[in-house]
Every structure is written in C-alpha cells, then in structure tokens.
Amino acid sequence: MTLSTTRRGLLAGTTAAAGGTLFASAGTRAQGTPPVIRLGVMSDYSGPYRDWSGPTNLACVQQAVEEFRAQRPDIPVEVINADHQNKTDVGANVVREWFDRRDVDAVVDVNNSAVGLAVNNVVRDKNKVFLCSGASTAALTGEQCSPNTVQWTYDTYMLAKATSTAMVKAGGDTWYFIVADYAFGHQIERDARRFIDGAGGKVLGAARYPFPQTSDFSALLLQAQASGAKVLGLANAGTDTVNSIKQAKEFGLQRRGMKIALMIAYVTDVHTMGLETAQGLVLSETYYWDLNDRTRAFMGRVKPKVGNNWPNQMGAGAYSATLHYLKTVAAMGGPAAAKASGRDTVARMKAIPTDDDCFGPGVVRADGRKMHPAYLFQVKTPAESKGPFDYYKLIGTTPPEEAFRPMAEGGCPLV
C-alpha cells in the first residue's frame, strides 16, 4: 500500500488549513483491508506562527513517516493537516471531527497553548493520542496531564528556568515583562517570576497585550524603558517576538543598556530578524541542526522538503514524537492494537526508550514529559556566521532532570 501522505492527504489538509473548515467524512473502510494509522498535524498555517511552525512541522512529520515506512512497509500511514487559526473552538472542533469522521488516531504539534489545552481534553474524552510538540504550557504535564498526551519538545518551566536564571546570574536582576495575553504568555511569565525571585532578582512590572491583534509594541516598550529595569522579558512568540525586538532596537533600548531576554524563540526567528538585529541575544532550545553529527544528518534528509525554512526545535519535536509513536504502533503488533486505545498506546510509549537523530536517547516520564537536555545558545555576529542558519553558539547545557520540572512538583494526578 502506498504512502498517502502526499497528494490526496495534503490537498485535503491544505483546503482545511486555508479556510479553517472541517474535513468531510472519510467513509468506511472496505472489508478485509488493513487498518490505517492516521495522523492529524494541527498547526498555524496562515497566522503569526506560520513561518516557524505549520508547513515545516508538517514536512518533519512526513519525514518521520517515510523513515518508518522504509522499515515497516506493511503498516499503512496517512497524514492530514488543518489550521487551528489560534482559536480554541476551531482547534477543538476540527479535532473532534477528525476523530468522529476521519478515523484519526493521533494529533501532532498544536503550536498554541490555549488550543493545546482544549485539544488535550478532546483527545482524553475520545481516548486517542496527542503528540504535543508545539504547545508549551507546563500544565499539560501538571494539573491538566492526561494518560493520552505526551508533551515532547519543551515547556514554559524549562524555557523560563534556563533563560531567566542565566540572565540574573549575569547581573540582570531587575525585570519588566511584555506578555501576550493568553495561556502561554501568562504561564511563562509566572514561571519566570518564580525563577527570578529564587535567584535574587525582582520583577518591576509587566504589560499585557491582546493576542493576536497587536503589531505595534511602541507604547509597551516605552513603559518597559520607563521602569528602569535592566532586563526586558518577552513572554511572546513568533512574529510578535520578531516585531518586539526590531522595535526595541529602533527605540535604542539595548543601546541604553537594557538587555532583552527571550522566554521562547527559535532559530527561525533569528533568520527572520537577521544577525544584525539578533546578534548577542540569548535563548534556549532543545534542538539545533548543527549541534552534532546526528542533528546534521537529520537536516540533510529533511532539507529537500523544507526549502529555506529550516526546522527549529518544534519541527524536530514533531518528527521525533511521530517516529516514536509509529515505532510503538509496530511494537504493539500493528494498527489494530494501537487504534483500540490511545491510553494503552501512550502507556507503551512511556515503557519504550526513545532514540532519534534530533534528540538522541531519552524517555517519556509517567506524567507525559519527554526528557532530553536543554541548550542555552547565544546568537552569532554576522562576522561569525558562515551562512544561512549558522546562527548559534552553544554556551550551556542543562541535563534533562535539571531542565524540566520535577515530577513531584507538577501536580499531575497520574503520578
């Protein structure tokens, strides 16, 4: 059976992504044909997070499927996709339609924390699988953890701890935050405040803005400058982060001595800003294409699919989570067993060690947290870079057990 990831699946997915509409019924499977594993890649294909998520993350999922199918051609896999439009109701409704009418078994990505929490509830109710590579709220492995969900790539706890602790140690002991007014922004601000206070620093204030309606950050930046804080913490992402940094440079915040801490940012953001603007910024990621021989090998394989928009940690997480899920399907004896219960499939994912070229060896904890190191990077100067996406210098590595929240502190009822 040929892989249905390409023309038919992608045309249907692209239609949904463009219009935000639901998929039509998949129909019934012909008697005697083998069951198919179906993956639904939900992401931002048209909004402020598009350039560092949707199409590239979809390509990374396709890469994982191709590699798996090369080893197990007897297990049919299909991939479809849809745009959540950064709206919780749209995301939840599409996923519900996927389960009820498209026979989707696992949802991948979901690069918005509010949408991710909504999808998490639907997946649990329908007993399917959520392979979360994009939503960063640590609640997914805390008070809202689910036996059907694995949070793969990062979370607000890890991002806030790595960056804020390093900045306070370097002398940035007073902070002002600009916060996107939704679940991700709120939680990463709370987490960062906790680590700043613990390291002896102090938060002088915060300004929140409506997401995704804001593109002019000038008033917020002036408030930050007037606060007298040494560090501006950006609790936003994607286009908002890029615009904030560009406008901060126009206002001369860094020239006046204010440092900028990125609570979440990606190599794709650096590419968009350019090294002239981004040089010297410090940020945390769990994957970088030029980290080692294995990450470079992955990049070599996926590059023909992504063109000039290389994967960041989120795309790497989508690839890694998909590959481990499919290996688990095979270990369970094939699609029929995996489709019977998402809870049982996730339990088996936790029992099998993980290993892939993006993250190396690892495990999935009882609370659904995928464990791997976190890396602190500094953005190179234009003179240091040898070409496109040669942007990072590794300045610190945090082992998994230190990077992520201790399981006992999360409040997950599964623990």
Residue 302 has pLDDT above 70, yes or no: yes
Nearest by Cα to 173 from 184, 161, 165, 185: 165
Task: Please write the tens of the pLDDT for every residue from 112-136.
Answer: 999 999 999 999 999 999 999 999 9
CB 231 within 8 A of CB 176: yes
Please, what sign has the CA dihedral across residues 211, 214, 220, 221? Answer: positive
Residue count of the chain, please give it. 415
pLDDT of residue 336: 96
pLDDT of residue 238: 81
CB 180 within 8 A of CB 236: yes
- The order of strands in the sheet holding 282-285 is 202-209, 174-180, 231-235, 259-262, 282-285, 374-379, 392-398
Residue 7 has pLDDT above 50, yes or no: no
Cα dist from 400 to 267, 350, 405, whole Å: 21, 16, 9
Amino acid, res. 366: A
CB 303 within 8 A of CB 47: no
Mean pLDDT in residue range 306-311: 93
Task: Please write the tens of the pLDDT for every residue from 45-80.
Answer: 998 888 888 999 999 999 999 999 999 999 999 999
d(CA 77, CA 92): 23
pLDDT of residue 58: 97
Phi and psi at 174, nearest 5°, equal: -125, 135
Select 7-154+291-371's CATH number: 3.30.450.20, 3.40.50.2300, 3.40.250.10, 1.10.1040.10. Answer: 3.40.50.2300
CB 239 within 8 A of CB 209: no
pLDDT of residue 334: 96
CATH number of 157-289+373-409: 3.40.50.2300
CB 112 within 8 A of CB 184: yes
* For residue 212, cis peptide bond before it (omega within 30 degrees of 0): yes
Residue 150 has pLDDT above 90, yes or no: yes
7-154+291-371 and 157-289+373-409: identical CATH topology: yes
In the 8-state DSSP scheme, what is residue 194?
A: H
pLDDT of residue 282: 85
Q: Domain locations in the chain?
A: 7-154+291-371, 157-289+373-409
Task: Please write the tens of the pLDDT for every residue from 35-51.
Answer: 999 999 999 999 888 88
Task: Please write the tens of the pLDDT for every residue from 265-281.
Answer: 899 999 999 999 999 88
Residue 173 has pLDDT above 60, yes or no: yes
| Rg, the chain, Cα only | 21
User: What burial class does residue 401 get, using C-beta atoms within 10 Å of its C-beta: 0-12 exposed, 13-18 middle, 19+ buried?
Assistant: exposed
CB 14 within 8 A of CB 43: no
d(CA 82, CA 407): 33
CB 164 within 8 A of CB 195: yes
Mean pLDDT in residue range 144-170: 93
Band the pLDDT of 18: cuts 50, 70, 90.
very low
pTM metric for this prediction:
0.87
Band the pLDDT of 2: cuts 50, 70, 90.
very low
Residue 10 has pLDDT above 50, yes or no: no
pLDDT of residue 19: 37
Residue 31 has pLDDT above 60, yes or no: no
Task: Please write the tens of the pLDDT for every residue from 366-386.
Answer: 999 999 999 989 999 999 999
CB atoms within 10 A of CB 384: 13
Chain centre distance of CA 85: 16
pLDDT of residue 8: 33
Task: Please write the tens of the pLDDT for every residue from 199-231.
Answer: 999 999 999 999 776 789 999 999 999 999 999
d(CA 391, CA 378): 8
Residue 22 has pLDDT above 90, yes or no: no
Cα dist from 239 to 221, 232, 242, whole Å: 16, 17, 5
CB 180 within 8 A of CB 215: no
Q: What percent of the chain has pLDDT over 70?
A: 92
Q: What is the mean pLDDT of the chain?
A: 90
CB atoms within 10 A of CB 262: 25
Write out the H or E segment, with its range, that includes residue 397: strand 392-398
Please work out, in degrees rounded to the nearest 5, the angle formed at the alpha carbon of residue 165 by the alpha carbons of 161 and 166. Answer: 115
d(CA 63, CA 320): 10
